[in-house]
Structure 1
């Protein structure tokens, strides 16, 4: 599903909904409106797995979970269709997602990094078993609530510990090693009101930004504009 067309679009913003939700709900979000107002095509596909434990979901890599659709392939087809029906064959792409959609963003960033130019997961990270390293360095801006109990920063387990959410800190470690962040600690750490930010900008390649907020399983106020500002500051066009 695509947000209404914009004249001379700057690029594509694709957002993956959370588990149990739909792309239609994302089309009504503030992120959709913000992306459209800046001149982006906004795309919100549906995660559909009728035979899985969670039907409105994405095929996030995890031990002891199986899906009938490979969503990495599905999203690639969606993007190909968008490019073939617009003048955006070379336009930059930002992939964002919330919760399970955020976890799918981590998967795409790690295993299919050529899919998008930058990645912005919200309240979702890898599920176990975590990779030891991603395919190549990348740009990623992760946002998480300090009091999130649905996807805690340290993860949690389901189904008698057979399916386990990954630890966000461990996910970031994988990415630091992939990007060659030899110093481990961020180059800068800043505060902006009730937001805590850490920036790994001096790695061998790519960039990692982490934003924590005091809330739970949700986006902090102003997340959409801030995330799009970050994407535009990368100057990927």
Structure 2
């Protein structure tokens, strides 16, 4: 399945021209479900694009995501195609393995590749709150190769078994989150929040990095693990349940090898 998808995605950019693509508040219909798309502001209509598939939070839909300053505000000026699937009942089934929403998410990416030229080597998965947990679930069982997971304030149980994993994991969570509480480990271990990925990817000891601020009112602490099968990054802050200003754009810049900037 992975090899087939990569071959299809590599061929698709040579097709085109790319016309009749749904975008913005007009949902792309996929069977009995749908998703939203936001192309970069300066896209030339032909160049293959990295993809950020973002799962919305509980009670939301993808039309919010493609107009959200802290999400599309950072994909639109970085040449990234934003895909925002709509969850059934405005939520996601991330509670156990074999989620129908994982199959749907894979179908969204495949369908978008028919509408837009995408770069199959740069498929990123993100989500916030319940959407963050769904992003973890999808990254854990995706039939497609995922270059990076950018998860915000939502996880799945750390003893979950994963059939696959992203090449790069980045998770941010507020230590004071009152909605989806930070998953401390025994003895208040803060690194427990990414235990699943550290064990799945064969990570060495953590490397604390200097704290940083994207906006001066929030300081983010960072730990990084170099692993046998990729890298894991954990960002924490003293705040609550929110998407930190600029965090998604900061990660996209680093993944692209650029100096991070805001916005």
Fold shared, TM-score > 0.5 on shorter chain: yes
Q: Which residue of 2 aligns with 1:160?
A: none
Give the Cα separation in 2 of the matches to 1:118 and 1:97: 12
**TM-score normalised to structure 1 length:** 0.79
Which runs of no fewer than 5 residues in structure 1 stay unpaired?
A: 49-54, 156-166
| Alignment match, 1:33 | 73
Render the CA deviation track for 1:157-201: whole Å, top value 9, x for unaligned.
Answer: xxxxxxxxxx98545112111111143xx1233211411111112
Of the three residues 99, 102, 114, the one matched with 2:129 is: 99
Superposed CA RMSD? 2.6
User: Is residue 189 from structure 1 mapped to residue 229 from structure 2 by the alignment?
Assistant: no
- Give 5+ residue unaligned stretches, structure 2: 1-35, 214-218, 259-263
Within a 5 Å distance, the mapping from 1:1-237 to structure 2 comes to: 1-4=36-39, 6-7=43-44, 8-30=47-69, 31-48=71-88, 55-62=89-96, 70-88=100-118, 90-112=120-142, 114-127=144-157, 130-132=159-161, 134-136=163-165, 138-154=167-183, 169-183=191-205, 186-193=206-213, 194-201=219-226, 203-233=227-257
Measure, in 2, the Cα distance between the counterparts of 1:11 and 1:61: 28
Which stretch shifts more, 217-226 or 20-29? 217-226
Q: Indicate how the Cα distance of structure 1 residues 132 and 3 shifts in structure 2: closer, same or farther if over 3 A, else same.
A: closer
User: Deviation digits for residues 57-85 of structure 1, max 9, x if unmatched?
Assistant: 1110249xxx9x70011111111111122
What is the alpha-carbon distance in structure 2 between the residues aligned to residue 18 and residue 97 of structure 1? 7
| Distance in 2 between residues matched to 1:124 and 1:25, nearest whole Å | 19
Q: Given the two structures, how large is their TM-score scaled by the length of structure 2?
A: 0.71
Map Cα deviations across residues 96-124 of structure 1 (whole Å, 9 max, x no partner).
Answer: 10011100111112222634211111000
